[in-house]
Amino acid sequence: MIDIRQMRYFVVLAETLHFGRAAERLHLSQPPLSRQIAALEKELGVRLLERNSRHATLTRAGQRFLDDSKAVLAAFDQACANAQLAEHGQLGELSIGFMMYATYTVIPSLVRRYVAHYPMVHTRLREVIPGSLAADILAGRFDAGIMFDPGFIRGLQTSAILSEPLCLAVPANHPLALRARIEARDLEDEPLLAAPVEVSTMLREAIIRYCRSGGFEPIIRLETQYQHTIVNLVAEGLGVALVPAGIRKASSGGVVFRDLDNAPIVNHVVAWRPGNLNPALTPFLAECERRL
């Protein structure tokens, strides 16, 4: 059987065309090198070198084997390096699901840092509604997800990475747009636009708690799962909305944002399945921790 060591010996000999100098470079005595080259030729069934007492020359078969051996050795060395990189999460693939809200807060800087530190990991990002992320992670469709804190879910581990206040999105011509800050009781009788509870339980619960702190039950006029749609509907005068403060970055004409007194807080977390063996996951989670 031809082994990698024999190929390395042959390449050094072919580059020097001198058994003594090749043996010196390989930290061998000349007789073992000669035996390895002879064994290689016997296994191949061809003569690779023409020898005389002073030097060696490559045969036509030897020149071809030299070119191919260099390619094989380069591929072998790269395979060894890739295995080591993959073991340490520096090579491979990583699939991340994220809710739209994270587009304006966590995702840009987090992904920029991760890609800069691990450029050889193929990172796939997919925006999904928050309510489906936990199930997608548990099913193995994503290695990790950026989402609102879902509470305890068996088989899912989470770590907080951001606490974000809610603010009020209000039509630019609405009387509340003239206020610098809004109190909970100011929203009584105001029709609210919100995401369905199944899209984001945590967000809906935060909205309800805030309204109840003002002494009233919220009036949900319209539900839609995407926050940018909610903001656009607010701009059309269909109601007001309590939205994560990061949504201000997506502001369009016709809507203004106002801070809330005692604003409710929603927590962003990174979630993953502890049994996930993808080596690229651990460095990603470390980058999430650095954001804290």
pLDDT at 291 (0 to 100): 63
Q: How many residues does the chain have?
A: 292
pLDDT at 248 (0 to 100): 87
Contacts of 46 (CB under 8 A, 6+ apart): 59, 61, 65
Bridge partner residues of 94 (DSSP): 123
Provide the pLDDT confidence category of residue 104 given band limits of 50, 70 and 90.
confident
Provide the pLDDT confidence category of residue 18 given band limits of 50, 70 and 90.
confident
As a whole number, mean pLDDT of residues 80-108 equals: 82
Dist. CA 271–CA 273, nearest whole Å: 7
Q: What would the DSSP string read from start to end of 72-110?
A: HHHHHHHHHHHHHHHHTTSSEEEEEEE-GGGGGTTHHHH
Is the distance from CB of 175 to CB of 237 less than 8 angstroms? no
| Domain spans of the chain, in order of start | 4-88, 106-291
Whether domain 106-291 has CATH 3.20.20.30: no
Contacts of 21 (CB under 8 A, 6+ apart): none
CATH classification number, 4-88, choose in 3.40.50.300, 3.30.365.10, 1.10.10.10, 1.10.3720.10: 1.10.10.10
pLDDT at 292 (0 to 100): 53
DSSP E strands, the chain? 49-51, 56-58, 92-98, 121-127, 144-148, 157-171, 181-182, 191-194, 219-223, 241-244, 255-260, 265-272
Rg (CA), the chain: 32
CA 258 to chain centre: 33
As a whole number, mean pLDDT of residues 92-118 equals: 90
| Cα distances (Å, whole numbers) of residue 45 to 40, 56, 57, 237 | 8, 18, 18, 86
Provide the pLDDT confidence category of residue 91 given band limits of 50, 70 and 90.
low
pLDDT digits (tens, 9 = 90+) for 131-183: 889 989 998 889 999 999 988 999 999 999 999 999 999 999 999 999 888 99
